[in-house]
Amino acid sequence: TGTFDGQGFAIKGLYFNDESEENVGLFGYVGSDGKVENVGVEDSYFRGQNYVGGVTGFNEGSITNCYNSGSVNATGKFATVGGVTGSNEGSVTNCYNSGSVNTTGEYYVGGVTGSNGGSVTNCYNSGSVNTTGKYSYVGGVTGFNEGSVTNSFAKTGSAENLIDQDFGNSFGSGFKTGEEFSNGTVAALLHNGIDGSVWGQNLADEISYPDFSGKIEFNYGSIVIAADKSKATILGNSTETANVPNPVEVNSVEFERTFVASPEGLNIANTIVLPFSTNEGTTANADFYAFTGVTVEDGVYTAEFRTEVKVAALEAGVPYAVILKEEATNLNMTLGSPVSVQTAELNNPKVGDWEFTGSYANRYWENGCTALECVYGFAAADDVDGIYKAGDFVKGGSDVSVKPMRAVLSRTSDQSNSGNGMLRAPAYRGVSRAIAEDVPEVIAVLFGNADGEVTFVGQMNTRTGNITLEKADRWFDMKGRRLNGKPTVKGTYYNNGKKVIIK
């Protein structure tokens, strides 16, 4: 009696080997008032005489949302053995077995249950079912049935028969091929069964089977595509690598990313690289800038991002700097027409010794990584020592990470440019120590258009890679260098992103 709720956890490493014992499993016997639910048995081995199963040896209660991937074995002359339970006189619902089931006896052996006098509903078996007994009853789901088997399946080849001896009822059950298991067909049948909402499957894996995720989808890390490819959801704040190795065409795309708000109420600036191309007008609450190079004048480094023509439509795989408009902190995009999603190609712009490098991977640099000496980006948060603020354009430092679908600015030499858009330490062996030490901790960043007008200026911290824009009441010369107050010398300057002529 009683209830055991595994809360979705798995129990691993169980080992039982005694050929004289009956009722062998995680639970040897479950009575009519007993319940076992939400638990898995993995990396385990059970060997007994009779009534042997991965979850229970003999069940008269209920087993729900459970699975076994361990090895289950019975050696008795008249043995009953199954992947989930040896014998079922109660209910087995939403369960599966992927482990091997073996017997040397002459009785009942099945992928889910050896014998069934109760109900088996929404279950499957993908493990092998074997016997050396000459007169055994062997089934992919159950060897002997005098109860009901509903909406339950076995992988083709797991056994010769789905139900060897059937004196009960079987509804909507059958063998399914390996392809039908891996492409989501079986998961959909289980999910749509009675109380089958727990079933799901990650179709992005080359070899996969239904699980208890509750969602049938292509999960590519920070990119999730619906099973019917009706929609791709891009998680802009995820730390999971986005990996769609081959282009997938979907009917719509939804992208969302939340930025750290500026403590001074300034516009938020950062970097972005998308796995899809956008249409003009898709991003109404942000402006995007292409990298055009780094200038050095009087020892002052300035990274420039400009718009030859205003960047309204973004290209997949091309990194951009992005500035949110007004006080916005979220960047949302929705495309309703067919869109191709892919992460196989990156088109990183390189100007001179500087490359604006996008990545779909979550990148982390440990202590001693020489590549960081020449890598820049926009800081995601304030430095604890007060060296830089969130949004500063900074130099990479030890124990620095950059989330997927971002970009960093890296200084290389022509010999060291890898050309594949990925930051790897060997790619920077050609960078001299002098180059690394020559670049300051914080460099200026300038945003403008093709006519030479500066729209925003700020700083990029050279240790982390994020951007901070300057306050609107500050003045800058035509090179984007900040001045100490309003200039008194005649000339052309920038104030609040606008060109001002002082006569």
Domains and CATH numbers, the chain: 2-176 (2.160.20.110), 257-438 (no CATH)
CB proximity list for 73: less than 8 A, separation 6 or greater: 45, 46, 47, 48, 52, 81, 101, 102, 103
Whole-angstrom distance, CA of residue 378 vs CA of residue 320: 12
Confidence at residue 337, expressed as pLDDT on a 0 to 100 scale = 82
- Alpha helix ranges (H) inside 138-237: 178-182, 185-191
Selection from 33, 32, 34, 39 nearest residue 10 by Cα: 39
Query: Is the model's pLDDT at 424 over the cut of 60?
Result: no
Q: Is 421 helix (H, G, I), strand (E, B) or coil?
A: coil
Give, as one character, the DSSP assignment of residue 268. P
**Which pLDDT value is given to residue 269?**
82
pLDDT of residue 430: 30
- The stretch 160-175 carries a mean pLDDT of 96
- Do 331 and 321 contact (CB within 8 A), yes or no? no
What's the mean pLDDT when you consider all of the chain? 85
User: Is pLDDT at 447 greater than 60 in this prediction?
Assistant: yes
List C-alpha distances in Å: 168 to 85, 125, 146, 150, 414: 18, 19, 4, 11, 75
State yes or no: pLDDT of 113 exceeds 70: yes
Residue 135 burial class via C-beta count within 10 angstroms: exposed 0-12, middle 13-18, buried 19 and up: exposed
Residue 31 has what pLDDT?
A: 97
| CA neighbours closer than 13 Å in the CB half-sphere of residue 322 | 27
Task: State how far the Cα of 55 lies from the Cα of 36, in Å rounded to an integer.
Answer: 8
pTM: 0.76
Contacts for 156 with CB less than 8 Å, ≥ 6 apart: 175, 176, 177, 178
The pLDDT, as a whole number, for residue 199 is 98
Q: Please, which residues have CB within 8 angstroms of residue 169's CB and are 6 or more apart in sequence?
A: 147, 148, 149
Read off the pLDDT of residues 364-391 as tens digits, 9 standing for 90 and up.
766 555 555 566 666 767 777 766 666 6
Q: Is 423's pLDDT higher than 60?
A: no
Report CA torsion sign: 360, 365, 369, 375: positive
DSSP 427: G
pLDDT at 419 over 80: no
Count of Cβ atoms closer than 10 Å to residue 31 Cβ = 12
Assigned token pair, 125: 């078996």
Give the integer Cα–Cα distance in Å for 253 and 234: 7
Contact present, 448 and 310 (Cβ < 8 Å) = no
Which range, of 147-156, 298-307, 311-320, 432-441, averages the lowest pLDDT?
A: 432-441
pLDDT at residue 216 greater than cutoff 80: yes
Residue 349, classified by CB atoms within 10 Å of its CB into exposed (0-12), middle (13-18) or buried (19+), is middle
More confident residue, 342 or 396: 342
CA 492 remoteness from chain centre: 50
Regarding beta strands 406-411 and 27-30, do their DSSP bridges make them parallel or antiparallel, or are they unpaired?
unpaired
Amino acid letter at 16? Answer: F
pLDDT of 242 higher than 90: yes
CA distance 230 to 12: 38
Mean pLDDT within 476-487: 74
263 or 356: which leads in pLDDT? 356
Could you tell me the end-to-end alpha-carbon distance of the chain, in angstroms, rounded to an integer?
Answer: 92
Adjacent-strand bridge partners of 124: 96, 153
Q: Among residues of the chain, what percentage have pLDDT more than 90?
A: 56
Quick check: 92 pLDDT over 90?
Answer: yes
* Distant-in-sequence, close-in-space partners of 17: CB < 8 Å, separation ≥ 6: 45, 47
Decide if pLDDT at 166 tops 70. Answer: yes
Q: How confident is the model at residue 66 (pLDDT cuts 50, 70, 90)?
A: very high
Residue 332 pLDDT > 50: yes
Q: Which range (150-159, 180-189, 346-355) has the least confidence?
A: 346-355
Are 257 and 296 in contact, with CB atoms under 8 Å apart? no
Burial 36-47 (b: 16+ CB within 10 A, else e): bbbbbbbebebb
Pairing label, strands 375-378, 406-411: antiparallel
Would you say 84 and 116 are in contact if contact means Cβ atoms under 8 Å apart? Answer: no
Token pair for residue 117? Answer: 């006098």
What is the pLDDT confidence band of residue 297, given thresholds at 50, 70 and 90?
confident
Instruction: Please state which of the ranges 124-128, 190-194, 498-502 shows the lowest mean pLDDT.
Output: 498-502
Burial track 462-489 (b if 16+ CB lie within 10 A, e otherwise): bbbbbbbbbeeeebbeeebebeeeebee
With tokens 């956008």, the residue in question is 278
Mean pLDDT of 284-305: 83
16-25, 299-308, 318-327, 433-442: lowest mean pLDDT where? 433-442
Beta strands, E only, 90-206: 91-93, 96-97, 101-103, 108-110, 113-116, 119-121, 124-125, 129-131, 137-139, 142-145, 148-150, 153-155, 163-166, 169-171, 174-176, 201-202
